[in-house]
Amino acid sequence: MSVNFIIADDHPLFRGALRQILQDGFQPDTIAEADSYQQLQDVVAKAQDIDLLFLDLTMPGVSGLSGLINLKAQYPELPVMIVSATDDVATIRRAMEFGASGFVSKSAGMEEIGLAVRTVLAGGEWISGDLELGAENDEEIADLITRIRALTPQQTRVLSMLGQGLLNKQLAYELNISEATVKAHVSAVLQKLGVDSRTQAVILLSRLGSGFTLLDTAH
């Protein structure tokens, strides 16, 4: 079976260890790597038939769940396995709610990682440990997650770029759309989030976790 992986993590030793596990267990055709979110965007755009992307939650250019949210907006069918040292129940639950196919702690052993990969490749979901994620106990967070998931892919990308403080002209250039269309998207995003300004939107999103930021300008 032809298998293609992408590893997105800024720690070369971890990338090397994960690469070895994947090579030994799955004999993939390709394993691409990225050490920053900008590089990951370039790799994904050029890659063909990605079977699974391994995503760390924190690397240059991104922090928290923003990378996952943006990737799933651009590539909704792309299977993403979060591999992170931040493995508390709330983070795992929110990652799965935002479309991750699995969540593996960086402390997981080779056997567990192999089993997780096989499970996701077979169309299932994987969560490290015997965890009961339960429901979001913060009603405001649950409402915010629902609102974000209601955004269209383009609106989600606009929301991500708002966190960079980009002007409408810059947004239009990055998305290859008119400024009038950008204004319409921004208005729709603010309305769906129930806020009146870009600043309020970013502040609201910061409630998803202490490590959550939207896409950083330091690509």
Question: Rounded CA gap, 36 and 31, in Å?
Answer: 16
Assess whether 57 and 161 both reside in one domain: no
Give me the number of domains the chain comprises: 2
What is the three-class DSSP state of 47?
coil
pLDDT at 216: 41
* CATH classification at residue 145: 1.10.10.10
Assess whether 119 and 150 both reside in one domain: no
Candidate from 78-82, 104-108, 151-155 with smallest mean pLDDT: 151-155
Assess whether 46 and 121 both reside in one domain: yes
Last residue of a domain, one of 99, 127, 155: 127
Candidate from 2-11, 149-158, 184-193, 198-207 with smallest mean pLDDT: 198-207
Per-residue pLDDT tens digits for 14-63 = 999 999 999 999 999 999 999 998 899 899 999 888 999 999 988 887 76
Residue at 77 is within a domain: yes
Calculate mean pLDDT across residues 7-12.
95
Assess whether 21 and 87 both reside in one domain: yes
Assess whether 108 and 160 both reside in one domain: no
* CATH classification at residue 14: 3.40.50.2300
Assess whether 112 and 18 both reside in one domain: yes
Query: For residue 150, with 0-12 CB atoms within 10 Å meaning exposed, 13-18 middle and 19 or more buried, which class applies?
Result: exposed
Assess whether 36 and 106 both reside in one domain: yes
pLDDT at 163: 67
Sign of CA dihedral 147, 164, 158, 126: negative
Range of the domain at 145: 139-208
Sign of CA dihedral 165, 98, 219, 85: positive
pLDDT at 184: 94
pLDDT at 143: 86
Judge contact between 26 and 117, C-beta under 8 A.
Answer: yes
pLDDT at 61: 76
pLDDT at 150: 86
Assess whether 87 and 157 both reside in one domain: no
Against a cut of 0.85, is the pTM above it?
A: no
Per DSSP, helices labelled H in the chain are 12-26, 37-46, 66-74, 89-97, 110-121, 139-149, 153-162, 168-175, 179-193, 198-205
pLDDT at 131: 65
Judge contact between 68 and 44, C-beta under 8 A.
Answer: no
pLDDT at 217: 36
Per-residue pLDDT tens digits for 129-147 = 666 666 666 788 888 888 8
- Give the list of residues 6+ apart from residue 87 with CB closer than 8 angstroms, or none: 103, 105, 106, 107, 128
CA distances from 93 to 45, 133, 145, 208, 211 (A): 28, 6, 11, 11, 15
Assess whether 158 and 70 both reside in one domain: no
The mean predicted confidence, pLDDT, of the chain is 85
Assess whether 68 and 147 both reside in one domain: no
More confident residue, 213 or 28: 28
Name the percent of the chain lying above pLDDT 70: 89
Residue 25 structure tokens: 């267990």
